[in-house]
């Protein structure tokens, strides 16, 4: 196999297999994919199948399976804490994905030109990406500290009374949303910048000759040609909404009164703190199904009128 790969690489550099009369086995690409498929199956599909088995079985005393069915799902949807976590996740998703994408596009368009000040500003906005989510949450906790935090300090100069940003159930979730937007907007901006650099400059020059203004060029050229990039970023953002939970644990641990509890934190609490594996497995399957449905829906929606350069 090694000799065959070396011969393949050598032939590729010298101008092709056919001139040397060599032919690759038809099954070679599948053999090369086999290691990746093995680990993908082992670490992705096996846990999902295991969660499915745990969700439809009920483990009795001594680890003996005493029943099976949809009881775990009935218990799950009858649990007020799960309904609250699901609702919080929806609010959290809408509150973070849309503002993060809008801010990323605005920053990318504003900083597209590669001037010295723009390169400096790009670094400033990308800097939060370098911080681990736990470290960023810890910094945010100091900023939001009631009375002495940076935000309360400046608001006090304007005569605004101190606020318990993370301890008030009415605003704690929005404080977490603020951290997520600050952390992710710069990250998404990098993808949008890469997409902008792939748009031919000729199109903008032709539009300027036709008298098109900046808003027209953005709506008729930039936005349509950015659709593939935006579709990719949107899927990444949706996945992050469900999978990023470190900052919630650091800032509030889902409190106060479950006001910031989200699906992943609920799964952790059910499976590890309450030792209710069946309930945690059922919540995991619902979360995976929800995530899959949202990803497919967003891709199908943005694929309409999408343009790929040939």
Per-residue confidence (pLDDT) for residue 17, from 0 to 100? 56
* Residues whose CB falls within 8 Å of the CB of residue 243, separated by 6 or more in sequence, listed in order: 264
Contact 195, 107 (CB under 8 A): no
Instruction: Specify which residues 58 forms β-bridges with.
Output: 67
pLDDT value, residue 133: 84
Mean pLDDT of 88-101: 92
pTM over 0.85: no
pLDDT in tens, 148-186: 888 888 888 888 888 888 888 999 999 999 999 998 999
CB 114 within 8 A of CB 193: no
| Sequence-distant contacts of 263-271: CB under 8 A, at least 24 apart | 263/85, 263/86, 263/89, 263/287, 263/290, 265/85, 266/81, 266/82, 266/85
At residue 173, the pLDDT reads 92
Q: Report the C-alpha gap between 201 and 206 in whole angstroms.
A: 9
The whole-chain average pLDDT of the chain stands at 83
Environment class of 139 (CB within 10 Å of its CB; exposed 0-12, middle 13-18, buried 19+): middle
Nearest alpha-carbon partner for 188 in 247, 236, 226, 140 = 236
d(CA 300, CA 115): 37
pLDDT score, position 14: 47
């Amino acid at each position: 196999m090694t000799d065959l790969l070396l011969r393949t690489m050598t032939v590729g550099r010298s101008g092709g297999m056919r001139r040397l009369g060599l032919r690759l086995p038809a099954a070679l690409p599948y053999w090369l994919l086999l290691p990746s498929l093995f680990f993908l199956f082992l670490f992705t599909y096996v846990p999902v199948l295991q969660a499915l088995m745990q969700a439809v079985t009920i483990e009795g005393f001594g680890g003996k399976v005493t029943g099976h069915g949809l009881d775990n799902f009935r218990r799950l949807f009858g649990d007020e804490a799960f309904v609250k976590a699901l609702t919080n996740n929806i609010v959290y998703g809408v509150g973070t994905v849309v503002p993060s994408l809008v801010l990323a596009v605005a920053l990318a368009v504003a900083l597209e030109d590669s001037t010295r000040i723009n390169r400096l500003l790009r670094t400033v906005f990308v800097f939060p990406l370098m911080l681990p989510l736990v470290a960023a949450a810890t910094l945010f906790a100091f900023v939001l500290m009631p009375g002495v935090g940076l935000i309360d300090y400046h608001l006090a100069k304007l005569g605004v009374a101190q606020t318990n940003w993370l301890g008030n159930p009415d605003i704690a979730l929005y404080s977490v949303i603020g951290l997520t937007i600050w952390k992710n907007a710069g990250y998404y901006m990098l993808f949008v910048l890469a997409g902008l650099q792939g748009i031919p400059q000729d199109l903008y020059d032709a539009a300027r000759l036709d008298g098109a203004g900046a808003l027209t060029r953005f709506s008729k050229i930039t936005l349509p040609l950015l659709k593939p990039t935006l579709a990719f970023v949107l899927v990444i953002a949706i996945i992050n909404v469900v999978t990023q939970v470190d900052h919630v644990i650091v800032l509030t641990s889902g409190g106060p009164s479950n006001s910031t509890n989200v699906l992943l934190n609920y799964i952790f609490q059910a499976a590890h703190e309450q030792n209710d594996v069946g309930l945690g497995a059922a919540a995991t399957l619902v979360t995976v199904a929800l995530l899959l449905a949202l990803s497919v829906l967003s891709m199908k929606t943005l694929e309409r009128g999408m343009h790929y350069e040939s």
